[in-house]
Homo-oligomer: A and B are copies of this chain.
Amino acid sequence: PGRFIDNMVEFAHKVEKLGKDDPRRITHSIKVGLTLSLVSLLYYCRPIYGGFGSSTMSAILTVVVVFEFSVGATLGKGFNRALATFLAGALGFGAHHLATLAGDKGHPAILWFFIFLLAAVASFVRFFPGIKARYDYGVLMFILTFCLVSVSGYREDEILELAHKRVSTIAIGCLTCVIMSIFVFPVWAGLDLHKLIAHNIEKQADFLQGFGELYFGTKRDMDMSWLHGYRSVLNSMTAEEAMANFARWEPAHGKFRFGHPWKQYLKISGMTRQCAYRLEALSNSITSEMKAQKPSEFKKIITLSCMEISIELGKALQEISSAIKNMTYPFTVSTHIVNAKTAAEDLHRALEGITLNNTNILDDVMPAVSVTSLLLEIIECTKNIAE
């Protein structure tokens, strides 16, 4: 029993952490609960509207499947579902009609053939990367609805009546979802993406600003966890692509128009990732530096310039990050870049003048220099985008 209580306490902590990390998760859960119970009320409206009854089921199904965390995802799925149901319903009706013309014997054979053909083609279509990203769910719904309509043994007028009910309940389901997700504590995928990108760049700025002090030993605290904040960007590509896909469905909100250039965010993020690979290499040299305790003569020569480079670059990135956040043009960035460039030139000059006896230590400065040039490139690119 003691162990059971321990498990429960641990579980409670996990739940608390999930909720605290992003309180919108709790709001989302309540929203889903509300929407579902709202839609299920439809069932009890029978006397008034005269016959939703069992068609309520498809409204419930729609809500369960369509309601997603962000507005964009919900809109995308709702659109997919509506379009796919409509198209497949029409095609299925056509197939059914054709099969009826063939008489009682030909009927199953023709339907069988149609189903096989459509299911195979649609399954293959799902492998196209572009369709997989945006219309995967729609294609699934298409196969499903087509099968349901064409196989059902109803007469044609029955199908039409059923279709009418089905379409209206699905529309109600979709609309409820869309309204709930847009007007009740909305979660915008676009805004999230925007914040994520700015956050990633800021983490890199933190790293660069802290790097100098840590590496050249003016500060030696061992708590380096804050330095590794930039690591989250390394594997975030898939999540970002999904967010950008969702964001494309979203209407204008806050400072974003419909048709905001979301793809630019992916480009910026790609460059940020390139930069993160370099930071990863830098951070490795910190760890190896921690082991070798005594600072060498060579290191003293490069300390000043290197620290300036990394701090100026950190400032530049910080600038870019807050420019993205506020959607302004980063005016002062170029100053920082120029400063960093000057420091880099100083460093080159200093290096040309000296003679080296203990080359091992060069491990230390070279990554910094190569990162410098890379960062410069990145910053140039970011400037070009200038939303």
Contact = CB atoms under 8 A, between A and B. Distances in A.
Interface stretch (A142-150, A200-208, A328-336): A142-150
Interface in A351-386: 351-352, 354-360, 362-363, 366-367, 369-370, 373-374
Contact of A56 (B57, B121, B151, B352): B151
Interface residues on A, range: 35 or more
Contacts of A373: 288
Contacts of A14: 128
A192 to B, nearest CB: 14
Interface stretch (A23-31, A174-182, A247-255, A313-321): A23-31
Contact of A366 (B25, B351, B363): B363
A14 B352 CA distance: 54
B367 A119 contact: no
Nearest to A57: B148
Contacts of A151: 40, 43, 56-57, 60
Contacts of A115: 33, 36-37, 40
Interface stretch (A2-10, A214-222, A278-286, A304-312): A278-286
A111 interface: yes
A54 B148 CA distance: 9
Contact of A124 (B25, B127, B237, B348): B25
A108 B237 CA distance: 46
Contacts of A234: 277
B351 A359 contact: yes
A17 to B, nearest CB: 10
A40 B369 contact: no
A323 interface: no
A28 B123 contact: yes
A112 interface: yes
Contacts of A140: 64-65
Given A33-B115, A120-B32, A360-B348, A370 B284 contact: yes
A84 to B, nearest CB: 12
Which 6 residue pairs are nearest across A and B when measured between Cβ atoms? A33-B120, A366-B366, A29-B124, A238-B238, A29-B123, A32-B123
A302 to B, nearest CB: 10
Contacts of A370: 281, 284-285, 363, 367
Interface in A43-81: 43-44, 53-54, 56-57, 60-61, 64-65
Contacts of A277: 234, 277, 280-281
A258 interface: no
Contacts of A127: 18, 25
Given A351-B360, A355-B356, A37 B112 contact: yes
A103 interface: no
A113 to B, nearest CB: 8
Contacts of A65: 140, 144
Contacts of A288: 373
A360 B345 CA distance: 12
